[in-house]
Amino acid sequence: MREIVIPRKIYYVWIGNKNKPVSVISNIESWRRLNPEYEIIEINEDNFDISSYKFVSQAYDQKMWAFASDVMRIDTIYKNGGIYLDTDVEAIKPFDKLIDSSSFWALENTGAVATGLVFGATKENPILKDILDIYTDLNFNIDNQFETMTVPIVTNVLKKYGLKFNNRKQILKSGAVIYPTPYFAPIHFWGGGKVSKKTITVHHYAASWLSESQNKLNLKNFKRSLTLYIPKIIRIIDILRGKSW
């Protein structure tokens, strides 16, 4: 019998006081249907102290919900243990095979670790503590968002625990399990890819909690930053190859 280490709790963040679209409700229902013994818990303004991290407060005040969520999810799992999912993630298989490790993480198609895909950990997991220590002293700067993106921050921390630059399943010295892209990122965020027999969840990259105006602003910022985007991915790759930044 497999030992249960990570609590059977699924968390998601929903902030900004916006109604959930049908797609989000459907995704949450897929978690519930495939994991009936799990408690599903929403993290929001009522049960999370936005002022507890200046990064969260600054991002929240500027309505940059995704950046605020980056810290809220890590803090919540650190304090309680459990599994986190973005609301645009659809469950394909049950999660019980994931919870017998101290933590598990998912690789995205850049080769880095993305907490928005899924992650799970025990209460007071030291990896999460290391990530939170970084955010404790970090300010959110809307004009320099790339420098505070969660993907390189989390990936850099996991590299210190032995994360290697390959798209294979890894078990790090801390007991953390790293899953390659077929498990949680079978669909590429730029398009393409396919679900396989290994797939447990699918991330649909919906940005569902953003308003139409915010999505337009993000598109404008993305176009403006396009010449910077590929170098940033290269910098993430450098992290995994042994170069810090």
**Per-residue pLDDT tens digits of the chain, which is 245 residues long:** 456 699 999 999 999 988 999 999 999 999 999 999 999 999 999 999 999 999 999 999 999 999 999 999 999 999 999 999 999 999 999 999 999 999 999 999 888 999 999 999 999 999 999 999 999 999 998 777 777 889 999 999 999 999 998 999 999 989 999 999 999 999 876 666 788 999 999 998 765 444 444 444 444 444 444 444 445 555 555 555 565 54
Domain ranges across the chain: 9-241
- Cross-strand partners of 40: 10
Per-residue confidence (pLDDT) for residue 213, from 0 to 100: 42
Residues 119 and 178: beta-carbon distance below 8 Å:
no
End-to-end alpha-carbon separation of the chain, Å? Answer: 43
The b/e string for 11-50 (b: 16+ C-beta within 10 A; e otherwise) is bbbbbbeeeeeeebeebbebbeebbeebebeebeeeebeb
Segments of 100-184 assigned E as strands: 103-106, 119-121, 170-171, 176-179
Fold of 9-241: Spore Coat Polysaccharide Biosynthesis Protein SpsA; Chain A (3.90.550)
Q: Are the C-beta atoms of residues 151 and 236 closer than 8 Å to each other?
A: yes
- Residue 190: the pLDDT is 61
Q: Which tokens is 174 given?
A: 């801390």
3-state secondary structure (DSSP) of residue 92: coil
